[in-house]
Amino acid sequence: MNRYMPPTIKPLIVVAGIIRNSKGQILLGQRRPGTHLEGLWEFPGGKVEANETLEQALKRELEEELGIQVSTSQPLITVEHQYPEKKVLLYVLEVSNWLGEVQSLEQQVLQWVNPENLSKIKMPEADIPVVRLLQRI
């Protein structure tokens, strides 16, 4: 019996950083118009390039987006999510130390949010398990 096997969809590998200010608030950026899931709020980060470790990708992305240099980060959670148009493998790292002042270098609106208020913010579905975890810790 010959069954049709759908092609394997290679996931988009993404890294995001949890950045907290001195008040314990967490940084979110709003997805720009014309991007996938535009208008939703997300944790800063982006695509992992070929031959790049998660830590290298996070450092690169946060320097490009926010102008900060990550000194220390630790793995927090990994989320696999299937959107209708793509599969995402999201690696989330807690950023414990960085240098520089957070600024929007890619014209992305930024906001600091108390962890207990994260569930009130419109975010991508892949970020929901991250929000749940952050509200428990």
Residues forming beta bridges with residue 73, ordered by sequence position:
95
How many angstroms separate the CA atoms of 80 and 13, rounded?
9
Confirm whether 58 is domain-assigned.
yes
Domain that holds residue 32: 12-111+130-136
Is it the case that residue 8 has pLDDT exceeding 70?
Answer: no
pLDDT of residue 137: 77
Confirm whether 82 is domain-assigned.
yes
Query: What's the Cα-to-Cα distance from 79 to each of 39, 57, 68, 102, 123, rounded to whole Å?
Result: 21, 17, 25, 26, 14
Confirm whether 79 is domain-assigned.
yes
Confirm whether 21 is domain-assigned.
yes
How many angstroms separate the CA atoms of 17 and 46, rounded?
9
Confirm whether 25 is domain-assigned.
yes
pLDDT, tens only, 17-41: 999 999 999 999 999 888 777 899 9
| CATH code for the domain of 45 | 3.90.79.10
How many angstroms separate the CA atoms of 38 and 110, rounded?
14
pLDDT, tens only, 100-135: 999 999 889 999 999 999 999 999 999 999 999 998
Confirm whether 76 is domain-assigned.
yes
Confirm whether 2 is domain-assigned.
no
Confirm whether 125 is domain-assigned.
no
4: pLDDT confidence band, cut at 50, 70 and 90?
A: low
Number of domains in the chain: 1
Query: What's the Cα-to-Cα distance from 27 to each of 4, 11, 130, rounded to whole Å?
Result: 45, 25, 13
Which segments of the chain does DSSP mark as H helices, in order? 54-66, 128-136
